[in-house]
Structure 1
Amino acid sequence: MQPSEQLKEHCGEHWQSATEHAFCAELAEGSLPLDKMKRYLAQDYTFIDNFVRLAASAIHYAPSLPDRLPLAHFLGNIAGPENTYFQRSFDMLAVVESERVSPELLKPTSDFQALMLKAAKSGEYGNMVAVLCVAEWVYLSWAEPVVEAVDSLPFYFGEWITLHSGEYFASVVEHLRGQLDNAFNTADEAQQQTITAYFNEAVLLEKQFFDACYQ
């Protein structure tokens, strides 16, 4: 079994809670209250800055050019189509300027921000790809099964699903899993424990983030 799969199974309860969350289910059904979606988008948009820092650090520390290029391409998608989606959704949902620019952060938001910066500053590629892998794999896991619902949804629900599903996004997750597998397999026991801790904390924070936005 791949290390990434073992890591996922190790935190199975939290993984299931994050990927089968009521927030995600209601979003896919189009029944999620708009105040919850607005709160979620405002919080989630704050991740882009530190996500870019983390991804850029991972690109720098990646072992080779073939390892770097898929991450670099994906980083362009975050800065392009995903950033544009946020702006269009903010406009459509009438999210006020203060919430777009500097919302009061929920605790899971600030905790996840801190985890991303900690991973970026660690100088350890395995820590970086552990957090990146969780961030994207969780979203693929909940979005892919509901992609057929997209056509019946307003764009601020539907496009969020399509951004996190499909052949290209699945290839990004597969690349991150491969990078995590390689980093884990070549790490010593102490570093494997550290990678595991990063992975587990990221999964727990994904679950807590959905909880906080849904409540």
Structure 2
Amino acid sequence: MRPSEDLKQSCINNWSAATTHPFCIELANGSLPLEKMKRYLAQDYTFIDNFVRLAASAIHHAPSLPDRLPLAHFLGIIAGPENTYFQRSFDMLNVPKSEQTSPELLTPTSDFQALMLKAAKSGEYGNMVAVLCVAEWVYLSWAEPMVDAVEALPFYFGEWITLHAGEYFESVVEHLRSQLDTAYNKADASQQETIKEYFQQAVLLEKQFFDACYA
């Protein structure tokens, strides 16, 4: 079994809770209350800054150019189409400017921000790709089964699904998993345990983030 799969199985209860969360189910069938979606988008948008920092740090610490390039390309997607999606959704849903720029952070939002910065500052590539891998793999896992529902949804629901599904996004997740597999296999026992802790904490926070936005 791949190390990334072993890591997922080590926290499978939280993984399953995150990837089959009522928030995701209701988003995909169009029944999610708009106030919950507005709260979620305002919170999620705050991740972009530290996500960019973490991804940039991972690009810097990646072992070779072929390892860096897919991450660099994906970083451009985050800074381009995904950022644009947030702005269009904020406008359509009439999210106040104060909520767009400085919402009061939910506890899981603050905790995930801290985890991303901790991974970036650790200087350890394995820690960085563990958090990045969780962030994208969880979303692929819940969004991919929902793609058939997209055409019937308003764009602020449907496009959030398509941004996290499809051939290109699958390739991003596969690259991150491969990077994590390699980093884990090259690490000693102590480093492997640290990578595992980062992975498990990121999964828990994904689940708690959905919980908090849905509450």
Match of residue 162 from structure 1? 162
Look up the match of 1:144: 144
1-side partners of 2:146 and 2:54: how far apart?
Answer: 29
- AA aligned opposite 1:141: S
Paired with 2:138 and 2:31, the residues of 1 have a C-alpha distance of 21
For structure 1, the residue ranges without an aligned partner over 5 or more in a row are none
Q: Distance in 2 between matches of 1:204 and 1:55?
A: 20
Give the 5 Å matches for 1:57-206: 57-206=57-206
- Give TM-score, length-normalised by structure 1: 1.00
- Mapped partners of 2:59, 2:23: distance in 1: 32
Tell me the equivalent position of 1:47.
47
Amino acid at match of 1:58: A
1:8 is aligned to 2:13: no
4+ residue runs over 3 A deviation = none
Counterpart-to-counterpart distance in 1, 2:117 and 2:130 = 13
- Distance of 2:42 and 2:145 partners within structure 1: 25
Structure 2: segments with no counterpart, 5+ residues? none
Q: CA deviation at 1:207?
A: 0.0
CA distance in 2 between counterparts of 1:12 and 1:75 reads 28
Report deviation, 1:94. Answer: 0.0
Separation in 2, partners of 1:97, 1:172: 32
Question: Amino acid of the residue matched to residue 114 of structure 1?
Answer: A
- Residue by residue over 1:105-146, the C-alpha shift from the partner in whole angstroms, topping out at 9 and shown as x without a partner, is 000000000000000000000000000000000000000001
The aligned amino acid for 1:139 is Y
Secondary structure in structure 2 of the residue aligned to 1:98: helix
How many residues are paired up? 215
Distance 1:9 1:26 in 2: 26
Q: How far apart are the structure 1 equivalents of 2:103 and 2:68?
A: 33
Aligned CA-pair RMSD: 0.2
**Aligned partners of 2:77 and 2:112: how far apart in 1?**
21
Shift of 1:202: 0.0
Q: CA deviation at 1:158?
A: 0.1
Deviations 1:23-65 (A, max 9, x none): 0000000000000000000000000000000000000000000
Question: 1:131 aligns to what SS in structure 2?
Answer: helix
The 2-side partners of 1:103 and 1:19 are apart by 25
